[in-house]
Amino acid sequence: MTNYEAEYNNRALVPEHPTLIEGWARDAAAYREAAAGEIGVSYELSVRTTYDVFLPEGGLPETGVIGLFIHGGYWQALDRSFFSHMARGPVAHGIPVAVANYSLCPDVRVADITGEMRRLVGHLWERYRKPVVVYGHSAGGHLTAMMLGTDWGARGLPPRLVPAGLSISGLFDLQPLLDTSINEKLRLDRREAIEASPVTLAPPVGLHLTAAVGGGESSEYIRQSRVFADLWGRGGVDTRLDIRGNDNHFTVIAPLADPQSDLTGTLVSMARKIC
């Protein structure tokens, strides 16, 4: 029987995580100091419903996409200030990037956070009139898949508003979390967990998903990415599974800060397919 508490407790699995998170904050602050853009833009009235936008040299391009990075933290921790440097890679290739904040559990539910991200995507369309390529880590990987699987046309927005997503160490079935300590703040019941899971969404036929996961992550994280990529691939989504070396849950996103990395290349390639 799978020990879900052990499989999903990433901080216990990576004892050096405090040092890695401190490094995120330091690198993010340095990038904000150097980068062009706008900090603390509100997309709703809540204190946490804000984002930072980082622009390429020369300003906002007339054509192309805008990237949206969504941070992790099991929907209950961290904020955008730890992840500004996740824009560095794509911005160097001419792609503007918004780095999102959202409300946290237990103040809200996971479904509320999904709603906030959907409204942020709509806000970015109204402001920039560009398709949104979403990429995110952990809980942000879950939210990436939820954005890709959203029926935007039913919301009065372009049907292919989110044509591609890069989900890094994503969670696509939330039911294994129900009996873990992670759920103390999420407060998910079985019905909520099912409804909030990307595996229950209709595959967005013809769109693009890369599911990346560290080869050094738990077997459950690798299983979730493998199963989801297979499920949506059989459903007509252009999918790719990327199991990344020996990376753990906290090191797997580091290549996004490098314009020359293969992970940045994956994101840029998806963006260019759309343009």
Read off the pLDDT of residues 77-95 as tens digits, 9 standing for 90 and up. 999 999 999 999 999 999 9
Contacts of 167 (CB under 8 A, 6+ apart): 135, 136, 141, 142, 144, 145, 209, 210, 211, 212, 225, 228
* Cis status, amide bond into 18, omega within 30 of 0: no
pLDDT for res 274? 79
Does the pTM exceed 0.95?
Answer: yes
Q: Which one is the CATH code of 4-274: 3.40.50.12780, 3.40.50.1820, 3.40.50.10210, 3.40.640.10? A: 3.40.50.1820
Q: Which amino acid is at 25?
A: A
- pLDDT at position 275 over 80: no
* Separation CA 271–CA 77 (nearest Å): 29
- pLDDT at position 44 over 90: yes
Task: Yes or no: say if 126 and 117 are a contact pair by the CB < 8 Å rule.
Answer: no
Beta strands 66-70; 132-137: pairing state = parallel
Give the residue-averaged pLDDT of 71-82: 98
Count the helix, strand and coil residues of the chain and give each as a percent rounded to the nearest 5.
45, 15, 40
Q: Where are the domains of the chain?
A: 4-274
| Short-list 32, 53, 86, CA closest to 252 | 86
The continuous run of DSSP H or E covering 239 comes out as: strand 238-244
Q: Could you tell me the pLDDT band of residue 190, with boundaries at 50, 70 and 90?
A: very high
Give the residue-averaged pLDDT of 256-261: 98
Q: Could you tell me the pLDDT band of residue 65, with boundaries at 50, 70 and 90?
A: very high
Phi and psi based region of residue 40 (left: phi greater than 0; alpha: psi -120 to 50; beta: remaining): left
Q: Could you tell me the pLDDT band of residue 1, with boundaries at 50, 70 and 90?
A: confident
